[in-house]
């Protein structure tokens, strides 16, 4: 990471998210990717807080092509990893600057986070099969929203 930072100085979250890839780091530094990350975080939070329609609207308004869709899915996986790291209290967050957002979320079980990760991974496969981007995201968001509601009900969590 130090070598990458010397080649191309960037914010810490960009360095972590790039995972050692110079091409990815350059993309993450663009205004378009910063905006896409904000959309990904907002929609992710909306899903976990039960604002399904807001999440769908954010994706519909901001994700226009397959590359952006894959990037949002990748950010969501990184957010889940961050929540997992916070839960087990070990390691550094990829999106450390988003900690305050994560902290307003109800506690999520490791099982729930694993299911979310699996469903988002499935989304990537669907996107690779030339599926309709908006429909694929809407289906996933609705599915995760239902699982979130069920998890909150079972665990007695109220947003």
Within a domain: 115: yes
**High-pLDDT (> 70) share of the chain, %:** 81
How far apart CA 45 and CA 28 sit, in angstroms, is 20
State the CATH number of the domain containing residue 91.
1.20.272
Within a domain: 13: yes
Q: For position 159, what pLDDT does the model report?
A: 47
Within a domain: 44: yes
Q: For position 136, what pLDDT does the model report?
A: 93
Q: Indicate if the pLDDT at residue 92 is higher than 90.
A: no
**Burial per residue of 10-29, b for 16 or more beta-carbon CB atoms within 10 angstroms, e otherwise:** beebbbbbbeeeeebbebbe
Domain that holds residue 25: 2-154
Q: Indicate if the pLDDT at residue 3 is higher than 90.
A: no
Within a domain: 9: yes
How far apart CA 159 and CA 154 sit, in angstroms, is 13
Within a domain: 147: yes
Give residue 6's pLDDT band: very low, low, confident or very high (50, 70, 90). low
Report pLDDT digits (tens) over 116-134.
999 999 998 998 887 899 9
Q: For position 53, what pLDDT does the model report?
A: 95
Within a domain: 159: no
Q: What is the mean pLDDT of residues 146-158?
A: 68
Q: Which two tokens stand for residue 92?
A: 């550094």
Could you give the 3-state DSSP secondary structure of residue 90?
coil
Report pLDDT digits (tens) over 32-82.
888 998 999 999 999 988 899 999 999 998 888 998 999 999 999 999 999
Task: Provide the mean pLDDT of the chain.
Answer: 83
Q: For position 30, what pLDDT does the model report?
A: 75
Q: How far apart are the first and last CA of the chain?
A: 37
Within a domain: 60: yes
Q: For position 40, what pLDDT does the model report?
A: 95
Place of tokens 């993309």: 27
Total domains, the chain: 1
């Amino acid at each position: 990471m130090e070598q990458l930072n010397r080649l191309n100085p960037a914010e810490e979250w960009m360095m972590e998210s790039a995972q050692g890839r110079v091409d990815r780091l350059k993309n993450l530094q663009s205004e378009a990717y910063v905006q896409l990350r904000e959309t990904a975080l907002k929609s992710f939070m909306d899903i976990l807080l039960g604002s399904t329609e807001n999440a769908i609207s954010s994706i519909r308004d901001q994700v226009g092509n397959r590359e952006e869709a894959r990037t949002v899915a990748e950010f969501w996986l990184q957010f889940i990893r961050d929540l997992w790291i916070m839960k087990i209290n070990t390691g550094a967050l990829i999106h450390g600057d988003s900690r305050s957002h994560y902290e307003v979320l109800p506690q999520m079980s490791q099982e729930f986070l694993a299911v979310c990760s699996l469903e988002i991974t499935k989304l990537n496969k669907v996107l690779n099969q030339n599926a309709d981007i908006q429909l694929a995201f809407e289906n996933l968001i609705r599915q995760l929203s239902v699982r979130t509601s069920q998890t909150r009900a079972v665990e007695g969590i109220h947003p």
